[in-house]
């Protein structure tokens, strides 16, 4: 038995397997982190782009965007890679007092996946020539939730982390 054990310990085949098993996660981790970061950036850019397209229609007085639900649906139609956009997005829109504007004092509300329905937090269309603030928040699930960015980004209620976008616009005069 001892002879077999000595012979087994002297063998050199299989050492590469041990090295690969130990080093492969360390080599793969930066690539996965880069992929996670890239996906987050792509989703943020797509959210900003979709918001710009929808706000252009809203600013010009598109009658199809008269409710918060329709505005959410229009944004989700423009966003291409967000998964279950209708469930995971929240919006807030309201007029801004330009003379004494200090910026939003509250954090943007995000959807709660644990609830069946997430209503629009505030949707006030505003009057002609009125400055408006529109804020969106959508939840994103990380690819690797236990390592890298997926581990350190703050989670919202029900999971996922928030991607937010906001814009100001002035309602155009309507005839």
Q: Is the pLDDT of residue 71 over 80?
A: yes
Domain spans of the chain, in order of start: 10-170
State the pLDDT confidence band at 41, using cuts at 50, 70 and 90: very high
27-31 average pLDDT score: 88
pLDDT at 14: 64
State the pLDDT confidence band at 84, using cuts at 50, 70 and 90: confident
* Strand boundaries in 4-130, DSSP class E: 89-95, 122-123
Q: Which helix (H) or strand (E) holds 23?
A: helix 15-59
pLDDT at 175: 63
Percent above pLDDT 70 for the chain: 95
State the pLDDT confidence band at 168, using cuts at 50, 70 and 90: very high
State the pLDDT confidence band at 167, using cuts at 50, 70 and 90: very high
Distance from C-alpha of 139 to C-alpha of 116, rounded to nearest angstrom = 15
Q: Find the farthest-apart pair of alpha carbons in the chain and give their distance in angstroms, rounded.
A: 98
Q: Is the pLDDT of residue 120 over 70?
A: no
Taking the complete model, does pTM exceed 0.75, yes or no? Answer: yes
């Amino acid at each position: 038995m001892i002879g077999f054990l000595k012979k087994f310990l002297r063998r050199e085949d299989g050492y590469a397997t041990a090295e690969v098993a130990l080093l492969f996660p360390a080599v793969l981790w930066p690539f996965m982190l880069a992929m996670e970061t890239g996906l987050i950036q792509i989703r943020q850019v797509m959210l900003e782009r979709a918001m710009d397209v929808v706000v252009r229609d809203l600013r010009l007085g598109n009658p199809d965007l008269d409710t918060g639900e329709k505005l959410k649906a229009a944004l989700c139609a423009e966003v291409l890679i967000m998964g279950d956009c209708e469930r995971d997005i929240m919006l807030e829109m309201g007029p801004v007092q330009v003379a004494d504007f200090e910026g939003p004092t509250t954090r943007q509300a995000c959807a709660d996946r644990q609830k069946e329905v997430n209503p629009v937090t505030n949707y006030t269309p505003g009057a002609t020539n009125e400055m408006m603030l529109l804020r969106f928040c959508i939840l994103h699930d990380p690819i690797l939730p236990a390592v890298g960015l997926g581990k350190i980004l703050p989670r919202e209620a029900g999971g996922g982390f928030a991607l937010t976008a906001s814009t100001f616009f002035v309602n155009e005069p309507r005839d």
